[in-house]
Chains A and B, each alone.
Chain A
């Protein structure tokens, strides 16, 4: 058992984010073994559906109030979106087959209110293993901030 796994909640618990509150089952906790760039020490997240806010979801840290992200399926933003995982990504996610994977892109709103989506470094979740990671391509055609309405 790794350190990160040692603190998985055993009972249902409350997540309170600035977007939504939720009652979460410990079995719904996603393990991010490396954390996320900028939040390396946060290893557990939950993905929350919020009523009437589709296609947005909330990716929220467990055991800490930060960070909290709005996320969306990148194909919803760009239907032609296509991303080739590396074998290393698959191995780290414990994924045998890409078909089961869930893709999420983070939403970024600038000071002027323009909504952008990070298509460059998506989050990939393997629901079969409840693992997740942010994949970072060395070469990628998609922008870090893809502004809606382009």
Chain B
């Protein structure tokens, strides 16, 4: 089972927002602090917490909660 709690916690910590504000609709468009710099940190923190490596294209493009879930699920199933 995908750990949604962990994803929300990592996003909240890296993006420096309240955990309660993170939901499946969160994205770079509606979280103000989520810029391209934070995107890099977010990818590194997600790799660290989920124990996966996110490929180059996905690292740049996974800029919403739903896209991140897709990317992580793909990596976790392949692991």
Q: Do A and B bind each other?
A: no
Could you list which residues of chain B lie within 8 angstroms of chain A, going by C-beta atoms? none
